[in-house]
Amino acid sequence: MHISSLPSNYGIGSLGEEAYKFVDFLKRSGQSYWQVLPVCPTSFGDSPYQSNSAFAGNPYFIDLDILCNEGLLEKHEIENYFFGDDDTAVDYKRLFDNRYPVLRKAFSRFERTDEYYMFVEENRFWLADYALFMAIKEHNHFRCWVYWDEDIRMCRPEAIEHYSDMLSRSIDFYMFVQYEFYKQWGELKNYANANGIRIIGDMPIYVALDSAEVWRSPEFFELDENKLPCRVAGCPPDDFSAKGQLWGNPLYNWEYMRSRGYDWWIKRIRMSFRLYDKVRIDHFRGFESYYAIPYGMEDATIGTWKKGPGYSLFEAVKGELGDVDIIAEDLGYLTEDVHMLLAECGYPGMRVLQFAFDPYGDNMYLPHNFKSNCVAYTGTHDNDTMAGWYSQTKGAQREFVNNYLGVKRKAEAVPASVRMLMASVADLVIIPIQDYLVQGSEARMNIPSTIGGNWLYRIEKNTLTDELADRIKTITKTFRR
């Protein structure tokens, strides 16, 4: 369950009281892990996989009640703003319009401490560029940097100096926001760890075009002399999408990154392990080969496969960071070379039950084919809920599902799916909260290749009952997990 999906009085889940209650719920349920989506700021399409920073935390997750307790806000000041009136869905437009004025009010009362100065110094390698980027972006009415004036778009030194002076107060604000996010996140993570809960985070493979990294460090990406992408990322057409998936992220200049010993990636992965105990790397197959689509295409039907860095990247990571606790998101079109890379790294891959039920064939997603070194899911944030998915199965597939799970009707299918994974040899099993609540398609988090209506899902207060916790604990104990 993502942070955004937690209950809250302020339009979106946060790092406050309800997050701590969720940790308590997990502990009572006998659980060991809490998996979240990327906690970076959301931008285009409200997606956590399209962020304007590879390192920053989401300002929306800063808990306003904690800021009140710190003396930075008064309760009545928060109540002057409207964050949406639907407890089951995030209203991102309202958040964008109203959350920043509240945070600026808190910033106006903030007094810098030694702890703050230490945070700024330790994170200067990304924080300075990010805060400057956001200040200029706000100055330009939040337009993408490719539409800024030429001098600052190209990061000419005199323009950097000019904007740094002119927007110094705004730059300080964005640094304050990151300080508050990281402080609140660190306290929540410490609480989770103290209660036996480890946090699994998610690291997108790509960063957005409209990001501090692409604007300030164009040499790391495949850009032309005008700092526009030569090619962009995506996935080719397949059974799920006739025109493929056009993500639009700039591709990495892997040759240049290799020449620097992959120092940017090492910093990024090190930072991820400051946030999380275990890290899922999105689109792992892109490190072996990635799909490159010419910039300006309307879909992903035209593109070519290019070789990625392969094991050399992870060898460099291991040399600097040692053995890191990574989950490889190895879904999608996989070749033997991808399987070989995963085996060389030794990272567990993912097994998604919804991908298993081809009535006419065998595949690695069927639980009887699992290897122990994997993480098993009923579905991910890109899947329908298990109840929603089951409702759409028909004919031979429905018959196969029923026979495999040993069920006859919809009400039995979701609990049986959970039991099937719990009984498997997978070292780790992660169940989306929607499936423990047996919710339908209305609770789906994301539909790939669509914009709008995604990333909205929230649970209401008092949804996570003691009865539900006991039920989860029983099945967990039954299968010795």
Instruction: Please identify every residue annotated as catalytic.
Output: 282, 329, 382
Sheet holding 245-250, edge to edge: 245-250, 231-235, 289-294, 304-307
Strand partners, 245: 235
Taking alpha carbons only, the member of 3, 22, 47 closest to residue 453 is 47
Instruction: Answer yes or no: are the C-beta atoms of 51 and 40 closer than 8 Å.
Output: yes
Bridge-based pairing state of the strands 289-294 and 304-307: antiparallel
End-to-end CA gap in the chain: 19
Strand partners, 233: 292
Residue type present at position 150: E
Specify the 3-state DSSP secondary structure of 48: coil
Sign of CA dihedral 270, 125, 191, 459: negative
Sign of CA dihedral 337, 338, 343, 344: positive
Instruction: Answer yes or no: are the C-beta atoms of 182 and 61 closer than 8 Å.
Output: no
Question: What is the C-alpha separation between 313 and 299, in angstroms, rounded?
Answer: 30
Sign of CA dihedral 12, 16, 19, 24: negative
SS (H, E, C) 417-460: HHHHHHCCCCCEEECCHHHHCCCCHHHCCCCCCCCCCCCCECCC
* Cα angle: 345, vertex 347, 348; to 5 degrees: 150
Region of 20 on the Ramachandran plot (φ > 0 left; ψ -120 to 50 alpha; else beta):
alpha
Question: What is the C-alpha separation between 35 and 192, in angstroms, rounded?
Answer: 12
Instruction: Answer yes or no: are the C-beta atoms of 241 and 291 closer than 8 Å.
Output: no
Helices vs. strands in the chain: H and E counts, helices first: 19, 11
Question: What is the C-alpha separation between 429 and 439, in angstroms, rounded?
Answer: 19
Instruction: Answer yes or no: are the C-beta atoms of 333 and 236 closer than 8 Å.
Output: yes
Tokens 């649970």: give the residue.
459
Residues in the chain: 481
Burial class (CB in 10 A: 0-12, 13-18, 19+), 100: middle
DSSP string for 253-270: -HHHHHHTTTHHHHHHHH
Q: Which two tokens stand for residue 419?
A: 């039991």
